Amino acid sequence: MEDKAGGSIAPQLDKLTLGVTRVLETSPGVAEVTLVEKEPAERHTIISWEQKNSCVLPEDLKNFYLMTDGFHMTWSVKIDDTPMPLGSMMINSISRLSRLGSSSLYALPNAPTLADLEDDTDEEGNEDKLEKPHFDSRSLIFELDPCNGNGKVCLVYKNTKPVVTPDTEIWFLDRALYWHFLTKTFTAYYRLLITHLGLPQWQYAFTSYGVSPQAKQWFNMYKPITINTALLSEEADAFVNKLDPNKVFKSKNKTPVLKKKLPSQPAGSQKSHTSTTSSKASSVPGNSSRKRDPQM
């Protein structure tokens, strides 16, 4: 574990992680649980960010930054005695809490922007019947977590006119640029982040199409500490293909069964079959036993 504060914030970090570090360290196969300790953000840094973006941070997120300037915990699993990175829990620092969809200084004048996708995204219905964020001036969107390239968890201000209100929501933007609602507050999202152990693609458990089969295997091995664990277990057939040998090889199993039934006939039928065969053999004209009869 990296220590950048000389152990001064170690007691706070244990409360901050809700004891999930010990849970991971005692899990089978888990190795190299790393928590990057960060100093609290300066109050003037937060004020400067609010002035720059013309909005006020929600109180719970502001208190989080006053405790630690961002959050980053990773853990690995051992495969053939070689650690492989698996879990990742991350919240960007205040300096990296950048606005999504803002035009770049080096962008071409006529280059397409995310705002050009508004017509496409509005046509898609939302399962929660909530107004989705907009990439244009109707919303302010800031990236909380890059999700290792699997999407983006965003802090969204939806009420921006006439002034930006501090009412925010946490949404997940997938790789297809569809929005999925996560929580109303940052505190609720932080609990989801911790209790899902940073498993790969855990945010997709809150979408209509769920996590991928590969991620589902990790979910089964390291179950999240959440109420939707039972729901994911009930839907295992939707994620993992199961091979039923009885159905796949059904046609091949019939042949050996029929071959075994043919010789296993009742004793009476076998005797009748033998007598029929001998009678047929005795009626053959060239039979030697029939030739001896006239001479006797």
Residue 216 belongs to some domain of the structure: yes
- Residue 273 buriedness (CB in 10 A; 0-12 / 13-18 / 19+): exposed
Residue 176 belongs to some domain of the structure: yes
pTM above 0.85, yes or no: no
Q: Give 3-state DSSP helix, strand, coil % of the chain, rounded to 5.
A: 40, 15, 40
Q: Confirm if 216 and 239 have CB atoms less than 8 A apart.
A: yes
Residue 185 belongs to some domain of the structure: yes
Domain range holding 179?
13-98+130-227
pLDDT tens across 200-251, in order? 999 999 999 888 898 888 888 887 765 454 444 444 444 344 445 455 444 4
Residue 7 CA to residue 169 CA, distance in Å, equals 34
Residue 114 belongs to some domain of the structure: no
Residue 204 belongs to some domain of the structure: yes
Residue 123 CA to residue 7 CA, distance in Å, equals 52
Residue 84 CA to residue 81 CA, distance in Å, equals 9
pLDDT tens across 103-156, in order? 544 445 555 555 555 654 444 444 447 889 988 888 899 999 999 999 999 999
Residue 198 CA to residue 20 CA, distance in Å, equals 11
What's the structural domain count of the chain? 1
Domain of 31, CATH number, reads 3.40.1580.10
